[in-house]
């Protein structure tokens, strides 16, 4: 992972932890009532850009078509019942 990607993850971690999220690698979860908010920062192979994946997980909706996740599992963006992929961001110099 390039230094730019690491810096981006560190910056996201500061903001998301202050908002009540817990970090698991490059994925963050926050439980709010029956929902889990999910944020994932996915870097490109070369580490020059990143995609911000977000989602909302609800166990009863998820389990209507998938087996239940194990207790205490980290909720991944692909587990979410509502998902979004946000624009790619370049880690190069900004002018």
**How buried is residue 68: exposed, middle or buried, by Cβ count under 10 Å (0-12/13-18/19+)?**
exposed
pTM, to two decimals: 0.83
Distance (Å, whole) CA 4 – CA 49: 9
Tell me the pLDDT band of 88, cut-offs 50, 70 and 90.
low
Tell me the pLDDT band of 89, cut-offs 50, 70 and 90.
low
Summary mean pLDDT of the chain: 85
pLDDT digits (tens, 9 = 90+) for 44-78: 777 667 788 999 999 999 999 899 999 889 999 99
């Amino acid at each position: 992972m390039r230094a730019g990607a690491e810096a981006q993850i560190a910056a996201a971690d500061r903001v998301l932890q202050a908002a009540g999220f817990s970090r698991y690698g490059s994925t963050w979860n926050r439980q709010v009532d029956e929902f889990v908010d999910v944020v994932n920062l996915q870097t490109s192979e070369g580490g020059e850009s990143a995609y911000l994946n977000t989602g909302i997980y609800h166990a009863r909706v998820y389990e209507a078509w998938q087996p239940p996740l194990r207790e205490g599992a980290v909720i991944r963006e692909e587990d979410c019942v509502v998902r979004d992929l946000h624009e790619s961001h370049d880690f190069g110099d900004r002018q």
